[in-house]
Amino acid sequence: MKVRHVRESDYIPVISVVNDWWGGRHMADMLPKLFFQHIQDTSYIAEQDGQLIGFLIGFVSQTYPTEAYIHFIGVHPDYRKDGVAKSLYRMFFDKVQAKGCKVVRCVTSPVNKTSIAFHTRMGFQIEEGNGEVDGVPVTRNYDGKGQDRVLFAKELG
């Protein structure tokens, strides 16, 4: 597996597969081209034999410069459980820690049990919310009315 920083030219290849990788869920709108133009230094592409097998889009917060945020990660279904996501996260952690970050944050939907389990295994803590879904703390209406989310934080170092 080869991992490199994203380039603007990666935009179309990524959004062309992301909905399929999510089982037909419409996810491409969460990845505007501006991410591929403006946050290349902390975002990554994973390739195997020249084929896209994974990506991570993340950045250092401008508001909280000691915090970083992982906005989106995707791994080709045939490569899940091969350590692709773990490798991308570790590269991100190393990069943002070198930039002075102490915390990494991310958000997922309470229905995404796979994501919740993965983040917990990676050492993320679920932040206390103001509600609960299936025994998991959530922040109600985080992304709008009826859009509850699970918020994660991981201390670096």
Mean pLDDT of the chain: 96
Strand order in the sheet with 150-155: 2-5, 44-48, 51-60, 67-75, 103-108, 150-155, 125-126
What per-residue confidence (pLDDT) applies to 25?
86
Helix (H, G, I), strand (E, B) or coil at 94: helix
Only one residue has tokens 């944050």, namely 105
- Taking only the tens place, the pLDDT of each residue in 82-99 is 999 999 999 999 999 999
Burial of 134 (0-12, 13-18, 19+ CB in 10 A): exposed
Q: Work out the pLDDT band at 58, boundaries 50, 70, 90.
A: very high
- Taking only the tens place, the pLDDT of each residue in 125-157 is 999 999 999 999 999 999 999 999 999 999 998
E-strand stretches of the chain: 2-5, 44-48, 51-60, 67-75, 103-108, 125-126, 131-133, 136-138, 150-155
Beta bridge partners of 81: none
% of the chain beyond a pLDDT of 70: 100
Report the candidate in 87, 91, 2 with the shortest Cα–Cα distance to residue 43.
91
Q: Structural domains in the chain?
A: 1-101 (3.40.630.30), 103-157 (no CATH)
**60 pLDDT more than 90:** yes
**Calpha distance 68→75 (Å, rounded):** 21
**24 pLDDT more than 90:** no
The dihedrals phi and psi of 147, each to the nearest 5 degrees, come to -105, 70
Only one residue has tokens 């509600």, namely 131
